[in-house]
């Protein structure tokens, strides 16, 4: 593990800071200082500014709309943007850029890259992920959505659930069984499917946080061109595992920043509520701070390998398990400190429905309660904590596999 930065990164870091000084409004106090409507408007505008200099897709080649930066420069950029309280991208870009865009860069045909990547950068194509199903969430290999080749098109039938941001997407990368009779991870393909067609029905799922970005999606004879397949028929599991590694790789740089800011806000909350001298609370705060520092070093270990060109493997489950359990415990303490006020919270609710609230958000009861609700889901989505522990025990530690029913 390397915890230092080479001297040549200093100049690039100053270039980013100059860009931020030039582009951000006077008196900028971070996204957390804005209300929901203003934050959405700023994020849409900020996305265009990042795209204009290639910072939206920093490591992509320039011919696809990127900046052609090194992985180290991408890490420095992520740190500076997080520190300035500005978003890294816009709506749907977590799926469009970090996931399917990076996957196509690695595995896509030249035709796929030339067609899709510039449209992702421009925002013309907005993507969502069609993986989980009612009977196959954490056990993704149990999926039943099927696709058959009909001439020059795939025809898709089935159902997906928990599909984030499906109603603001016009494309979806879908895992489907393309080999009849196949089981588990065999016979699955990843298809690139246009969303705006008669064979797709999207229904929102209302969450207890009040958000409705989750959806269930029904496929009834939906179609996509035969060439809209990643790697090839039956290679969907390989594509999915590579994609999940990409999803968790660059979080190693940004998660410690967001969660450290959350611990700082938690300490402030304890002081405001007159609980910072309580020995039990002080012990819990110390544990939260210590977990945050451990997360930082876990991130540095991941980044050390990533900067050498390694793709995060099964050990990325360590990061997912660690930050999600830390987040749940930390926000639980925040709600406990609120006491009865947590039953009827007031103030600004979190705009972010993933990870911590924005670092510069006001320390309101609504912020903590909303983030606490989100934190609970963090131990479920992208692989439950129980599944992550199984992966670590079997694939990383080499312990005997759990018996499966015949």
Q: Are 83 and 261 in contact (CB under 8 A)?
A: no
Q: How far is CA 91 from CA 36, 132, 202, in A?
A: 14, 20, 18
Of 31, 23, 12, the residue nearest 75 (C-alpha): 12
Question: Is residue 228 classed as helix, strand or coil in its secondary structure?
Answer: coil
User: How many helices and strands in the chain, by DSSP H and E?
Assistant: 12, 7
**216, 247, 251, 262: which one is catalytic?**
247
- Distance in angstroms (rounded) separating the CA atoms of residues 348 and 361: 8
Residue 386 a catalytic site member: no
Can you read off the two tokens belonging to residue 224?
A: 């996509």
**Residue 186 DSSP one-character state:** T
Sequence length of the chain is: 406
Partners of 154 in beta bridges: 149, 224
Q: Dihedrals φ, ψ of 76, to 5°?
A: -60, -45
- Distance in angstroms (rounded) separating the CA atoms of residues 61 and 304: 22
Can you read off the two tokens belonging to residue 312?
A: 């995060």
Helix intervals (H) in 24-101:
36-52, 71-83, 93
- Distance in angstroms (rounded) separating the CA atoms of residues 234 and 105: 20
Question: Is residue 69 classed as helix, strand or coil in its secondary structure?
Answer: coil
Could you list the active site residues?
A: 247
């Amino acid at each position: 593990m390397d915890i230092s930065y080479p001297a040549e990164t200093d100049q690039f870091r100053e270039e980013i800071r100059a860009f931020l000084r030039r582009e951000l409004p006077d008196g900028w106090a971070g996204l957390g200082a804005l209300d929901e409507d203003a934050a959405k408007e700023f994020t849409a505008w900020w996305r265009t500014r990042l795209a204009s200099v290639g910072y939206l897709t920093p490591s992509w080649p320039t011919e696809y709309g990127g900046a052609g930066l090194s992985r180290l420069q991408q890490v420095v950029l992520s740190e500076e943007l997080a520190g300035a309280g500005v978003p890294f991208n816009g709506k749907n870009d977590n799926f469009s850029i970090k996931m399917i865009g990076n996957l196509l860069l690695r595995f896509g045909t030249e035709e796929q890259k030339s067609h899709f990547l510039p449209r992702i950068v421009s925002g013309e194509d907005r993507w969502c992920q069609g993986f989980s199903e009612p009977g196959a969430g954490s056990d993704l290999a149990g999926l039943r959505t099927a696709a058959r080749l009909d001439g020059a098109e795939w025809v898709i039938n089935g159902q997906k659930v928990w599909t984030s941001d499906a109603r603001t997407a016009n494309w979806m990368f879908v895992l489907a069984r393309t080999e009849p009779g196949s089981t588990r991870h065999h016979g699955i393909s990843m298809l690139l499917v246009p969303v705006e067609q008669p064979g797709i029905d999207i229904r929102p799922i209302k969450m207890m946080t009040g958000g409705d970005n989750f959806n269930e999606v029904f496929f009834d004879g939906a179609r996509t061109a035969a060439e809209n397949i990643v790697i090839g028929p039956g290679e969907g599991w390989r594509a999915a595992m590579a994609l999940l590694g990409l999803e968790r790789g660059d979080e190693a740089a940004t998660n410690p920043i967001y969660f450290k800011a959350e611990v700082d806000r938690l300490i402030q909350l304890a002081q405001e509520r007159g609980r910072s001298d309580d020995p039990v609370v002080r012990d819990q705060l110390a544990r939260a701070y210590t977990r945050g520092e451990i997360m930082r070093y876990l991130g540095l270990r991941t980044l050390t390998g990533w900067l050498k060109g390694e793709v995060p493997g099964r050990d990325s489950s360590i990061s997912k398990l660690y930050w999600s359990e830390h987040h749940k415990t930390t926000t639980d303490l925040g709600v406990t400190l609120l006491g009865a006020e947590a039953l009827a919270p007031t103030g600004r609710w979190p705009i972010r429905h993933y990870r911590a609230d924005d670092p510069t958000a006001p320390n309101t009861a609504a912020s903590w309660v909303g983030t606490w609700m989100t934190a609970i889901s963090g131990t479920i989505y992208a692989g439950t904590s129980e599944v992550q522990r199984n992966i670590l025990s079997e694939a990383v530690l080499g312990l005997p596999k759990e018996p499966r029913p015949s």
